[in-house]
Amino acid sequence: MDKRYVITTPIYYVNAAPHIGTALTTLASDVTARYHRLRGAKTFFLTGTDENGIKVMEAAERAGKTTREFVDELSAEFRRIFDGMGIAYDDFIRTTEERHTRTVVAFFEKLKESGHIYLGKYEGWYDVGSETFFKESELVDGKSPDGNEVRWVEEDNYFFKLSAFEKPLLDHLQWHPRFILPEPRRNEVAAFIRSGLRDTCITRTNHGWGVPVPGEPDKVIYVWFDALINYVSATGWPEPGWEERWPADVQWMGKDILTRFHATLWPAMLMAMDLPLPHTLMGHAWMLMGGEKISKSRGNVVPPLELAAELAERSGCAYDLAVDAVRYFMAAAMPCESDTTFTHDEFDRRYNADLANDLGNALNRSLSMAHKFTGGVVPDSPVELEAQAAIRQAKEGFETAMEDFRVHEAAESALALVRFLNKYIDRRAPWALAKAQDPAVGSVIRSMLLCLRAVEGLIRPILPSTADAIARQLGVAPTANWKEIGTQSSLPTKTALMIPEPMFPRLELATRRPEMKTPAPTEEPKTDDAQIGIDEFKKVQLRVARILEAEPLEGSDKLMRLQVIVDGAKRQIVAGIRKNYDPLDLIGRQIVVVANLKPAVVRGAESQGMLLAAVDEDGGAILLQPDRETPESAVVR
């Protein structure tokens, strides 16, 4: 049986509900799995919960629940949140499952039989918070390096001969440069191993929770030794067929659990068992909040589904697309070598800039112009070479980034194609080509639409619901094969296109923190009746809008009926600009509108706003517009 492409997350402690920091690793793993499925690989994506250990038992006691009740509830909560985020895992393992217990016992017994485990006396410091043993020299001001309280422990326990694997581990690092990524992590691991490895205690006194040592029920297997074995438990080892799911192609984790455990203890355990090592251990950096790592113990958590629900309420976008926006932020901000910082302001900025402005703008403009200039179908015209080159460059950039598991660079490659598309539209100006009856308009429109189709495929591993929505508006099935991206057959000619539906309404930034609104002056200067105060002026909401459609209003020689996009929604404005402007000159143009003007009926047509224009010497209109491309719905002050 062929081996699958295997991706794992660490299994997560169930001492509290998951947060955006927890979900960061899981999201990166999900993007990896979705990408390789598109590449045609059969994947095995494993995640799960670590439910043994003293810390879990003590957390249950504090919650006033039995340990079993506690872990059942929290493990279900992890699944609820991961499912809600669209995490498409293939297996979810719990260390309290019988299949895991059976494998841990078999693993322990084989190591004992081979002489890699021996009985000894442990005396030293134990950090319950991280379930880790520390040497006296590793303590900082009497605490663990993580700042947790430590306990002195004296017990008769089993030890794993970790010291025997110092040279084999260093040799493996030397001959397999991709074993640990990114490179700074590999250097940290090598330095840690060279500092000297000591045999490690792998059992604890049985306090009533954990996997008992076979034949010695007064002891349980140390939680970290037990937890690492989950990756093999999920393969079905030692039963036949486990090779289909091992070794892992990539094991994702945060940098804090890489060096001591996953890059040292875990590969040494596998070497002792004569089992193959994972191909790559990817130890990403942290997401910080307020200068600290986001963690349950610090209380600075950001629940991902609550963040999505809040965004949906504030912006008006569909909930599944709000979840995608959270996924996008995490992918785009994914810390690799260096830590990154989460702030609500940065989250809002990325939503507006990348999704509402760039992606939403590209979709709305392209589909609107296709309806205006090519009858709402994909034209039978050749795709221009510069569009083909941009698609190829974005696709290759995505592939290169994912080869090294740099999810943030993959996200940037996809958005680079979106930005190219918006600039391409401005430069090629299909409205001008149509007015001049230039036959190139068909090629330009098809190039625009093929770029959109390619974007749909590229963002699919990161924004699956958004990709589905784009495919639906393009009138095609979702991209199912990576090779199809960029091919002209992926968007057949004569395909009927849907009317554009705005997906990401622009977010009003003041809706999150009203206290940040500009305060009104405490005192206004004396005015005459022709002047207004700042409070009155602030009631007028001026926004940048884009004209999607324009046509003369029937029965009038002065009025034009415009369909514009503003605040993420399509609305109609009737304006007296027909004398100075031809409809084809208006398509795609940005203008300034009064967005909160009460609707009025003009010559039988409802006008849902007012555009701003200067008056020329003949009383005609001169449209006011930004002097360069401006984010959709930008505030005008």
Cβ neighbours around 210 below 10 Å, total: 27
Question: Of the ranges 54-63, 74-83, 228-237, which one carries the lowest mean pLDDT score?
Answer: 54-63
Indicate whether 289 and 375 sit together in one domain.
Answer: no
Indicate whether 339 and 385 sit together in one domain.
Answer: yes
Indicate whether 355 and 381 sit together in one domain.
Answer: yes
Segment 215-253, tens digit of pLDDT:
999 999 998 899 999 999 999 999 999 999 999 999 999
Residue 403 in this model has a pLDDT that exceeds 50: yes
Segment 559-618, tens digit of pLDDT:
888 887 777 677 888 888 877 776 756 777 788 888 888 888 777 678 888 888 887 666
Question: Of the ranges 42-51, 100-109, 119-128, 402-411, which one carries the lowest mean pLDDT score?
Answer: 119-128
Indicate whether 252 and 348 sit together in one domain.
Answer: no
User: How far is CA 131 from its chain centroid?
Assistant: 29
- Side chain identity at 74, as an amino acid letter? L
- Residue 223 resides in a domain: yes
Percentage of the chain exceeding pLDDT 70: 91
In terms of pLDDT, which residue wins out, 206 or 569? 206
Residue whose entry in the numeric block shows the structure tokens 């003949």: 618
Indicate whether 574 and 461 sit together in one domain.
Answer: no
User: How far is CA 458 from its chain centroid?
Assistant: 13
Indicate whether 288 and 312 sit together in one domain.
Answer: no
Which CATH number do you get for residue 266?
3.40.50.620
- Residue 581 resides in a domain: yes
In terms of pLDDT, which residue wins out, 155 or 240? 240
In 586-632 the beta strands, taken as DSSP E runs, fall at: 590-594, 600-602, 605-607, 610-611, 613-615, 621-623
Indicate whether 227 and 324 sit together in one domain.
Answer: no
* Domain total in the chain: 3
pLDDT at 628 (0 to 100): 66
DSSP 617: T
- Residue 512 resides in a domain: no
Residue whose entry in the numeric block shows the structure tokens 């996809």: 414
593 in Cβ contact with 571 (< 8 Å): no
| Local structure of 122: helix, strand or coil | strand
pLDDT at 520 (0 to 100): 38
- Residue 516 resides in a domain: no
- Residue 520 resides in a domain: no
Question: Domain residues for 240?
Answer: 5-293
Q: Supply the pTM of this predicted model.
A: 0.82
Which CATH number do you get for residue 391?
1.10.730.10
